[in-house]
Structure 1
Amino acid sequence: MTEFGDLISALGEFGLYQKLLILFLSLPLFLNPFQMIGQVFMVVDVPHHCDTSWIRAIGPNLTEEEQLNLTLPRDADGEYEQCSMYSPVDWDLGSIVAYGLNATEKCSSGWVYPSGQPPSLLTEFDLVCDRKDLNDISQSIYMLGLLLGAVIFGPLSDRIGRRPILLITILLHGLFGVGIAFVPHFYVYMAFRCVVGASVSGIMIATLALATEWVGVSSRPKAVLISHCCIAIGQILLAGLSYGIRNWRLLEIAGSAPMFALFFYIWVLPESARWLVTKGRIEEAKKVLQKAAAINKRTIPPGLLEQLTPEKQTKSGSALDLFRKKHLQKITLIMSCAWFADSLVYYGLSLNVTSFGLDIYLTQLAFGAVELPARICCIFLLQWFGRRKTQGFLLLLSGLMCLVITGIPEDQPIATTVLAIIGKFTATASFSTSYVYTAELFPTVVRQTGVGLCSMSARVAGIIAPLIHLLEQYHRAIPMAIFGCAPVVGGLLCVLLPETRGTDLVDDTGAASPQLSSRRPEILSTRDITEDGVDLKKDVYRSSESE
């Protein structure tokens, strides 16, 4: 199916049809940050202490300050302990006041939070003290959902198509995202978040394939990264929305319900013509290609369409080909490492906004704002310097920023935040580069399987990232040191990869490496062309040898 690039050139490499497609593919990505980062704003730490209302049965007229003074121990700073209390006794109030209480125990009757506090995950499900780690665990469960989504929806997209996977995952995202707002228990919350994570992964995988396979060689980075800019805009919107909506259930609805507005995709979303041809569904491919050409106000020469025959159907690939064939094995292993490093540093910084010492809403706004230029810059970096150099350099730089943070004193929050923002910029750009680079490296028949496998590696890193934060209790520099070392190693490995700038997409697993495109669209003047005895008077495209 080496002629497919000619068809894309004939119908227009990045015409109105592709622009509309990219717009549609971008819409669900606006909501991804609400699921990925939103929980950070639902578990904002607030002052709390053990519920010691047991003493009210003995001294009903005690003021709140007197109650706390009698029932709660104090820490070294003179503040009330948040996770321990004096053990209840059956003494009279006079004896308690005279002798005081000495024996302590963990909170046995729950906790008390400031009155008037909007409902949050922390206050509603008591994510404090011994239950505090459930917050990081639930983030890892969400990342596990992303992993499952890559495992399930990557190969499934190669099997049944990009379009049905995108429709299914959008529906799952909307249903379970809104369902989270009504869960009665935290473990149900984690289960629903796992399903939402799987749907987010499926959406990312399907949009990447459609954005890549419908455009020409020179427009691939632009198509993918324009859609990724919507993720950056979503991060900015998240900062404002979470600042305005402090009730976690309402925030969850606001970040999920708009997904139902995308039901019109059933009628407008096309299947990948390139994928249809690899599956031998030639007539369906011709219809969508002709529709695309009509919207772009172009005409595909009939002779070019006739080259799409079932006999030229590409042999199907499988996940085993990614390891059975030597060139694909190297690509799979190195890109899996790159995605792992991307994800580790990206989520390591994104989920750590509460630890940099500045206002979390301003920090998130800065983190979101810096993603937009990061993704836009990628469009030019990939064209100027190629995929391999860009990928390696951005990974190295993001890792170095994290390593530098480990040496910044704890009383310098501004310096730490500035370095974290630079690290977020390079990590975001590196992640976007990985999407473009990976889609170009893998053949069409296993493209989604390959992307799904690399995405699995990223999701493993996403699962680990929140848990690495728990190591901060041993030394504050340990998490950042880990987040810094991984991308440095990944960046060095990238030198072993082939370059894909200016190459055609490979369709089967036999090609050892992407081939430089020998075509550039060149429109001929209107003239007579004789084909099978029929004169065609129209503008046609031809493939000419590249200079």
Structure 2
Amino acid sequence: MTGNNFDEILCLIGGFGKYQKILYVWICLPQIFLAFHMLVSVFTGAVPPHLCRSTWPPEDNPASSNFSHLTTPDGPHELSCTVPLNHSSVLTLGDGHPAGSCQGGWEYSTNTFESTIVTEWDLVCDSASLNNMGSSIYMFGLLIGALMFGSLSDKYGRRNIILINLAIQAVFGVGAAFAPNFYVYIALRFVVGTTVSGVIMNAFVLGTEWTGPKQRMLAGIITDYFFGFGYILLAGVAYLIRDWRKLQLAISIPGFLFIFYIWVLPKSARWLMANDRNEEAWELIHKAAQMNGKPITKDLQMCRVYKTGEKTEVKRKYSCIDLVRTPRMRKQSLIVFYLWFVNVLVYYGLSLNVSDFGMNIYLTQMIFGLVEMPARTITLFTLNRSRKISQLAFLAVGGTACLLTIFIPSDMSVIKTVLAMIGKFGITASLSIIYVYSAELFPTVIRQNGIGIGSMCARIGGVLAPMMYLLKSISPLAPMVVCGLCPLLGSGLTLLLPETANKPLPDTIEHTEGADLSEVDGSVKSVDTSLKNTNAGGTGMD
């Protein structure tokens, strides 16, 4: 059975009735905890003000009372790594070791955090890059999870993969709270990252496969709102729990409650039919029809008789090579892949480094979470007017705001945070748009390949986002320069893409190569809703 034929069935049983609404409750609840796992490193990996304990003379070390001298808004307390060789200084290294090679251990301020992985394992100065590396390894887990669980879900079903990932996530998330050293902690977080990707991807697919064509775009945005709610809620949870191990436990233990999903989470009837498990599929379809208050009509019975016996027409197989084989397709594909990359690079570059803007870290986290709500909502209104201008404008807004932060003095932290917030607004909106825009730019025959490669580019951006802050060794302003210039370049490249709003979608590569989208023959379907809206959600996730 083809996707469009299943859409006919959904129209008969209710495209977004009680059955689907309950399903979306089950899909959206984990999104809150996925946001926790995605962004908890903002707090667990935070770098408090720190001083080297003087080894000579130890009784004269008043380090704990001198943290106020080390607060540097432009980075992770660079001054604390510049250890003078004057024995009379509180920062003196008694054995004459050079700056950054503290032999007596580090003393950390406990004004904001009781403990973080940085304070426990001394991930500062010479070891500071390990902290960024840990975040990148977690993001690499997201990439591996997308590749691994995407194919496994096609083979074993969306529901089974979601259940397995939720279980692994809870176990390894709790395990991370008891990690004996940094390397075990990173290994456990890597596994959590793979499961986050698996749950985000398959929960969204499961929901869209049960939802009617007209409601999929809005239904996809609903999951984004719950992710944003988790973003905001994390600030409150972290404010109440200042110890990193307890915080890690607090966000992980509730995952065991999802064991009841074994009984309430349905399978995908669309997937069952695609895998010739028609009887199971029709049992679920009848259950959904009854719950939605739709009687089993003759039309539905006829669908069962004729549709289940359909044979799929053998067609030419397309590969990722077709994305770059022809000139216009190659140009569009490379631009879209860059847009995926830059959106996620800047999104997580800002999200994971809220401590760099000089304001209270908890307040900044909450503000950055709140700004996601209007950013995702506004795209519902701008997308219908123009995909191209919407993408271009939000990238330009995000990039310009980030770039302007480099001209703001360090003592004007409020203005700096406001500009960063505007940058986050633009990038969040742009990230939501790229899902829809990509699905409309790629022809039907290679649309899934295009979205898949785009998602991989996005994950590469996620891997590089934490590492971007290592550029501070070159200049404290370098990360925000990157966050500003990369989106502006993307905004310029978007000018080279065609407009797709209210235009027929191309079915073949020939349609894309032979004419502008506005000139495609009218027989091309105006909306390939099933494929387009299956990818119209956000989360970040990806």
Shorter-chain TM-score range:
0.7 to 0.9
Query: Which of the two has higher C-alpha Rg?
Result: 1
Q: 1:235 to 1:52 in 2, by over 3 A?
A: same
> Counterpart of 1:473 in structure 2: which amino acid?
S
Query: How big is each residue's C-alpha offset from its partner over 1:54-102, in whole Å with a ceiling of 9 and x where there is no partner?
Result: 746xxxxx45449999xxxx99x9x9965647699xxxxxxxxxxx978
Q: 1:173 aligns to what?
A: 169
Distance 1:279 1:387 in 2: 35
Q: Which stretch has the larger CA shift, 236-245 or 391-400?
A: 391-400
Q: 2:536 aligns to what?
A: none
Q: 1:3 aligns to what?
A: 5
Please tell me whether residue 309 in structure 1 is matched to residue 308 in structure 2: yes
Distance 1:510 1:291 in 2: 42
Q: 1:337 aligns to what?
A: 338
Please tell me whether residue 38 in structure 1 is matched to residue 31 in structure 2: no
Please tell me whether residue 290 in structure 1 is matched to residue 291 in structure 2: no
- Give the C-alpha shift of residue 436 in structure 1: 4.6
Q: 1:203 to 1:510 in 2, by over 3 A?
A: farther
- Give the C-alpha shift of residue 310 in structure 1: 4.1
Q: 1:248 to 1:67 in 2, by over 3 A?
A: closer
Q: Which stretch has the larger CA shift, 204-213 or 326-335?
A: 326-335
Q: 1:20 aligns to what?
A: 22
Distance 2:159 2:329 in 1: 26
Aligned length: 497
Percentage of matched positions with identical amino acids: 41
Match of 1:139 among 135, 160, 165: 135
Distance 1:361 1:439 in 2: 36
Matches within 5 A, 1:94-493: 103-105=96-98, 106-114=101-109, 118-298=114-294, 299-300=296-297, 301=299, 302-313=301-312, 320=320, 323=323, 333-382=334-383, 384-385=384-385, 387-438=387-438, 451-493=451-493
Q: 1:321 to 1:129 in 2, by over 3 A?
A: closer
Distance 1:223 1:435 in 2: 14
Secondary structure in 1 aligned to 2:371? helix
Question: Does structure 1 conserve the Cα–Cα contact (< 8 Å) formed by 2:13 and 2:285?
Answer: yes
Distance 1:328 1:282 in 2: 38
Query: How big is each residue's C-alpha offset from its partner over 1:95-129, in whole Å with a ceiling of 9 and x where there is no partner?
Result: xxxxx978334222422335796222111111112
Q: 1:408 to 1:429 in 2, by over 3 A?
A: same
Please tell me whether residue 515 in structure 1 is matched to residue 510 in structure 2: no
Distance 1:157 1:493 in 2: 34
Secondary structure in 1 aligned to 2:310? helix
Question: Does structure 2 conserve the Cα–Cα contact (< 8 Å) formed by 1:158 and 1:446?
Answer: no
Query: How big is each residue's C-alpha offset from its partner over 1:277-327, in whole Å with a ceiling of 9 and x where there is no partner?
Result: 333333333232222222111135211333323433366967547648869
Question: Does structure 2 conserve the Cα–Cα contact (< 8 Å) formed by 1:209 and 1:439?
Answer: no
- Give the C-alpha shift of residue 21 in structure 1: 1.5
TM-score, normalising length: structure 1:
0.79
Distance 2:505 2:306 in 1: 18
Q: 1:443 to 1:101 in 2, by over 3 A?
A: closer
TM-score, normalising length: structure 2:
0.80
Distance 2:158 2:509 in 1: 19
Q: 2:537 aligns to what?
A: none
Distance 1:81 1:15 in 2: 59
Question: Does structure 2 conserve the Cα–Cα contact (< 8 Å) formed by 1:345 and 1:483?
Answer: yes
Distance 2:509 2:63 in 1: 76
> Counterpart of 2:24 in structure 1: which amino acid?
I
Query: How big is each residue's C-alpha offset from its partner over 1:234-289, in whole Å with a ceiling of 9 and x where there is no partner?
Result: 01111111111001001011111112111222222223333333333333332322
Q: 1:137 to 1:426 in 2, by over 3 A?
A: same
Distance 1:47 1:255 in 2: 26
Distance 1:26 1:66 in 2: 47
> Counterpart of 2:108 in structure 1: which amino acid?
Y
Distance 2:81 2:270 in 1: 60
Q: Which stretch has the larger CA shift, 266-275 or 465-474?
A: 266-275
> Counterpart of 2:359 in structure 1: which amino acid?
L
- Give the C-alpha shift of residue 224 in structure 1: 0.6
- Give the C-alpha shift of residue 144 in structure 1: 0.8
Distance 2:446 2:164 in 1: 20
Distance 2:447 2:263 in 1: 25
Distance 1:331 1:155 in 2: 26
Question: Does structure 2 conserve the Cα–Cα contact (< 8 Å) formed by 1:52 and 1:109?
Answer: yes
- Give the C-alpha shift of residue 17 in structure 1: 1.4
Q: 1:80 to 1:517 in 2, by over 3 A?
A: closer
Question: Does structure 1 conserve the Cα–Cα contact (< 8 Å) formed by 2:342 and 2:490?
Answer: yes
Q: Which stretch has the larger CA shift, 120-129 or 467-476?
A: 467-476
Give ranges in structure 1 of 5+ residues lacking alignment: 57-61, 89-99, 520-547
> Counterpart of 2:125 in structure 1: which amino acid?
C
Distance 1:293 1:238 in 2: 38
